[in-house]
Amino acid sequence: MNGLLLFIGLMILPAGFQDESVLFVNKSTHEIALFESGEEQFTAPAAIGKTDDLTPEGIFSIVVKAKDPYYRKTDIPGGDPDNPLGSRWIGFDARGTDGRMYGVHGTNRPESIGKSVSAGCIRLKNEDVEKLYESVGKGTDIVIVKSEQSMEQLYDEWLKNKWKEALA
């Protein structure tokens, strides 16, 4: 019965949630995907934390975006080839932070992509993070999971949960 109510709700309520952009990171597959208007628009391989606990799981929001980010830890300016953050920073509010501790970013080590090697961030090739940077805005949800589900299944689950919250 709940499924029928959800289906009816999907039919009569405005399509607002389907129009939202949402970003998914699957730690099991080392992938990132962007959905816009219900369609997968972008996908790329990603590096994640060295250990499971380093890359937080949950639903977060993009709160900071920066081109050629400055690497504070070792004082490396943005745009420097030694900067491990690469060409873009897309920060999210995990674990009560302000988007400057956890993020999706480029790298100066493209060979690390697809592996569990980071201190907790999600690394992409610079060309991939540059494409993604142009497609996501502040306030976009980023969902980080460790799952055997496909990206489409993760999106469908996220959408159902959004509708359940709206109908509650």
Write out the catalytic residue numbers: 105, 121
Alpha-carbon distance 91 to 123, whole Å? 12
Supply 58's token pair: 């949950």
Give the integer Cα–Cα distance in Å for 125 and 132: 11
Residue 43, classed as helix, strand or coil, is strand
Could you tell me the CA-to-CA distances from 25 to 11, 42, 62, 87 in Å, in that order? 29, 12, 13, 20
Angle at 62 between CA 140 and CA 39, to 5 degrees: 30
